[in-house]
Amino acid sequence: MHSVPTAIGRNNKTLQNQAVGDLNQRRHISGDDTRQRLPGPRNILNGTFVGFIDEYSTDRRGTDTPLNYSNRQNMAMRGGVTRKLWSGAELTVDGSFRQKHTQSGFFAPYNTLFVVPNDPVAYVASELTTAAITPRLNIDQSFNAFRLRMIAGIDVYKTRYHSDRSLFTGASPNHVYDIDQLTTAGYAQPTVTLWGNTDIAVGGRIQRNSIRARDVLDANAPGPTFSVPQGLPLDTSETQRATHLGIEHRFTPAFTVFGRMAQSFRLPNVDERVGEAPLGGVTDFNLRTQRSHDYEAGFRVRSGPFDLQSSAYRMYLVDELHLNPITFANTNLDPTLRYGVENTASYRISNSLRLKGSVSYTRAIFRSGQFAGNDVPEVARWTGSATVSWDVFPKYLTFDGTVRLAGKRFLDGDEANFGRMMVPASTTVDVRFAGEYKNLFWALTVQNVFNQLYFDYGVGNSFAGNTSISLYPLPGRTFKFKLGANFG
């Protein structure tokens, strides 16, 4: 049996410098510089190569990759103008520009037999630039018993992505990814109110997406142990449509029913298109667009200090976008179905004391394919929360206490639902004290008050009689204090 060095050290730290400037209500500029250390997972291994190792139980705060890091420099500008066209109609034209630079370094972990621990595995330096212009028209007009509210507009987004992938800092890139994407869309959603108690909303969006993607391979540049072939070039355009129909009827001021049906889509973003090449495969930028047909119906009750809303929904998804945690490639899932019930309620005991709670039941299953009928991993069937808010001394001292619950679910990668290990159910408690005095404000937050040691994401994999489980522990009890002042 081979021996594997144990993990040493810790590697979880974030430093951020941020600046925000508001020139006026319509013009903003911001920038930030963020430096993160990446701790990576805690592994549970069982097999012929390494025997049995349980890092989660023996050292949940440790790391096998003490050198991994990710840095980001982000700059964004946004501005716009609004003009009144006539009574009840105004035109808004917004424009924005954003540029993000990232640098990430990855090194070989301790628990491996194939490379030398701490040897460089990959260095990624990327730049993402996005420019947008989004004019829109807002209308709010009344005609006797009818009221018309409508938003309609055009969205134009231009995105450029450039990423150098090399073995280590300063080395020539072995892969250079370039993606140019142009998205143009037109949309409108009018809402008609009839007799003051019935809202009918009909909306639509048509969007054209054009993309050009390239991968340039330098076979002579230093590369990883398992080299990745050159990615397949992509030049394509597609048009997608989204629609919405909704109705809400207020029988009385205390009782309302509503329903909607919609067709929606989500285009793969540039990071998802690049992702990582599947093990032993080739990067394919040509991910399909995720599409969904949604249905929802529910009711609201408002009676004095008590509010309640309950709704049931059903979603039929095709080509759902998903990062495969085993192959590290972004893929499209087989058709899936999500359905459930969502409930929220609140009760105002007094002007200074309020209660709020929610509970949801969700099922996510594969509709067809090799896993038909199985649960989609990482989706808890039951979730809920309860919050009490108390204005101890209004404005000067307030208190919020929240209990959060999440049910158990299958690990990512366990589409077969073997369930050898699952993400366990968890219950956590958070509290927050806050207040204001003149132009000063402060807040003290304690998260996970009872120091529950848990995780809410994990990956399971089995191969050749070996089992590998990677868990990502969440922090125990944490404290955060904020102090600030408002000027002007």
Domain with residue 217: its CATH number is 2.40.170.20
The predicted structure's pLDDT at residue 397 = 96
Identity of residue 95: G
The residue-averaged pLDDT of 288-306 equals 97
Question: Does the residue 297 lie in any domain?
Answer: yes
The residue-averaged pLDDT of 304-315 equals 97
Percent of the chain with pLDDT over 70: 93
Question: Does the residue 387 lie in any domain?
Answer: yes
pLDDT at position 8 over 70: no
Question: Does the residue 404 lie in any domain?
Answer: yes
The predicted structure's pLDDT at residue 278 = 55
pLDDT digits (tens, 9 = 90+) for 39-89: 889 988 876 556 678 889 999 888 989 999 999 999 999 999 999 999 999
- By CB neighbour count within 10 A (0-12 exposed, 13-18 middle, 19+ buried), where does 137 fall? middle
| 228 confidence band (pLDDT: 50, 70, 90) | confident
The predicted structure's pLDDT at residue 103 = 97
The residue-averaged pLDDT of 318-322 equals 94
The residue-averaged pLDDT of 227-238 equals 89
pLDDT at position 402 over 60: yes
| 7 confidence band (pLDDT: 50, 70, 90) | very low
CB 19 within 8 A of CB 33: no
Nearest to 46 by CA among 464, 485, 477: 464
Question: Which residue reads 């809402």 in tokens?
Answer: 191
The residue-averaged pLDDT of 334-342 equals 98
Question: Which residues are within 8 A (CB) of 47 and not within 5 positions of it... i.e. 6 or more apart?
Answer: 464, 465, 466, 467, 468
Please count the structural domains in the chain.
1
The predicted structure's pLDDT at residue 9 = 60
Strands 306-318, 321-323: pairing is unpaired
Provide the CA 379 distance to its chain's centre, in angstroms.
14
The span from the CA of 406 to the CA of 401, in Å, is: 17
The predicted structure's pLDDT at residue 51 = 67
pLDDT at position 146 over 80: yes
**Least confident segment among 276-290, 307-321, 344-358:** 276-290
**Least confident segment among 276-280, 323-327, 416-420:** 276-280
pLDDT at position 3 over 50: no
Q: 317 phi and psi, to 5 degrees?
A: -110, 145
Q: Using alpha carbons only, give the angle 228, 178, 274 rounded to the nearest 5 degrees.
A: 50
Please give the residue range of the domain that contains residue 237: 32-41+65-453+474-485
The predicted structure's pLDDT at residue 340 = 98
Identity of residue 430: D
Question: Does the residue 168 lie in any domain?
Answer: yes
Identity of residue 315: M
The residue-averaged pLDDT of 306-333 equals 92
Question: Which residues are within 8 A (CB) of 282 and not within 5 positions of it... i.e. 6 or more apart?
Answer: 228, 229, 230, 231, 232
CB 228 within 8 A of CB 277: yes
Three state DSSP letters for the chain: CCCCCCCCCCCCEEEEEEEEEEEECCEEEEEEEEEEECCCCEEEEEECCCEEEEHHHHCCCCCCCCCCEEEEEEEEEEEEEEEEEECCEEEEEEEEEEEEEEEEEEECCCCCCCCCCCCEEEEEEEEEEEEEEEEEEEEEEEECCEEEEEEEEEEEEEEEEEEEEECCCCCCCCEEEEEEEEEEEEEEEEEEEECCCEEEEEEEEEEEEEEEEEEEECCCCCCCCCCCCCCECEEEEEEEEEEEEEEEEEEECCEEEEEEEEEEEECCCHHHHHCCCCCCCCCECCCCCEEEEEEEEEEEEEECCEEEEEEEEEEEEECCEEECCCCCCEEECCCEEEEEEEEEEEEEEECCEEEEEEEEEEEEEECCCCCCCCECCCCCCEEEEEEEEEEEECCCEEEEEEEEEECCEECECCCCCCCCCEECCEEEEEEEEEEEECCEEEEEEEECCCCCCCEEEEEEEEECCEEEEEEEECCCCEEEEEEEECCC
Which residues, listed in sequence order, are joined to residue 211 by a DSSP beta bridge?
Answer: 181, 236
Mean pLDDT of the chain: 91
The predicted structure's pLDDT at residue 116 = 82
The predicted structure's pLDDT at residue 387 = 98
Hey, how many other C-beta atoms are within 10 angstroms of the C-beta on 190? 14
Question: Does the residue 9 lie in any domain?
Answer: no
The predicted structure's pLDDT at residue 6 = 44
Question: Which residues are within 8 A (CB) of 317 and not within 5 positions of it... i.e. 6 or more apart?
Answer: 290, 291, 292, 333, 335, 336, 337, 338
Percent of the chain with pLDDT over 90: 73
Question: Does the residue 458 lie in any domain?
Answer: no
The predicted structure's pLDDT at residue 53 = 84
The predicted structure's pLDDT at residue 46 = 79
pLDDT digits (tens, 9 = 90+) for 87-136: 999 999 999 999 999 999 999 887 666 678 888 989 999 999 999 999 99
Measure Cα distances from 275 to 57, 284, 304, 322, 331 in Å: 31, 9, 52, 11, 10
pLDDT digits (tens, 9 = 90+) for 166-186: 999 999 999 999 999 999 999
The predicted structure's pLDDT at residue 485 = 85
Q: 294 phi and psi, to 5 degrees?
A: -120, 145
Q: Using alpha carbons only, give the angle 319, 321, 327 rounded to the nearest 5 degrees.
A: 110
Question: Which residues are within 8 A (CB) of 295 and not within 5 positions of it... i.e. 6 or more apart?
Answer: 259, 260, 261, 313, 314, 315
Cα Rg of the chain, angstroms: 26
The span from the CA of 317 to the CA of 366, in Å, is: 10
Nearest to 258 by CA among 309, 207, 219: 309
Question: Does the residue 295 lie in any domain?
Answer: yes
Nearest to 67 by CA among 114, 111, 117: 117
Question: Does the residue 371 lie in any domain?
Answer: yes
Copy the structure tokens of residue 477: 């009890």
Copy the structure tokens of residue 308: 């309640």
The predicted structure's pLDDT at residue 11 = 85
pLDDT at position 239 over 90: yes
pLDDT at position 412 over 70: yes
